[in-house]
Amino acid sequence: MSEKGPEPEDSGELMYVKCAYCGKWLDVKPGQMNWVSHGLCDDCLKQELEKFKNPVSESPPASDHPLPRGSNS
């Protein structure tokens, strides 16, 4: 028989949640004491969603072979 402690929800221990991008504290939830989980705050989520609406055009990656194949120079 395994001797596990109570589930985090039942133990009264709290876990902190902060934004993975800007570091703003978002919430405190049941979980392992002194652990930190991550999510995105509303502002950072909005910025990330804007990237899908306005994709940045990027140059194609540089070739590993600057000279055409078969070239001896």
User: Tens of pLDDT along the chain (73 residues)?
Assistant: 445 655 655 677 889 999 999 999 999 988 887 788 899 999 999 999 998 887 766 666 666 656 555 555 5
DSSP 3-state assignment of 17? strand
Distances (CA, A) of 41 to 8, 24, 34, 47: 24, 7, 20, 10
The confidence score (pLDDT) of residue 32 equals 82
Do the domain assignments include residue 72? no
Do the domain assignments include residue 49? yes
Do the domain assignments include residue 63? no
Q: Which domain holds residue 27?
A: 10-53
Do the domain assignments include residue 60? no
Distances (CA, A) of 52 to 6, 44, 45, 46, 66: 42, 13, 11, 10, 32
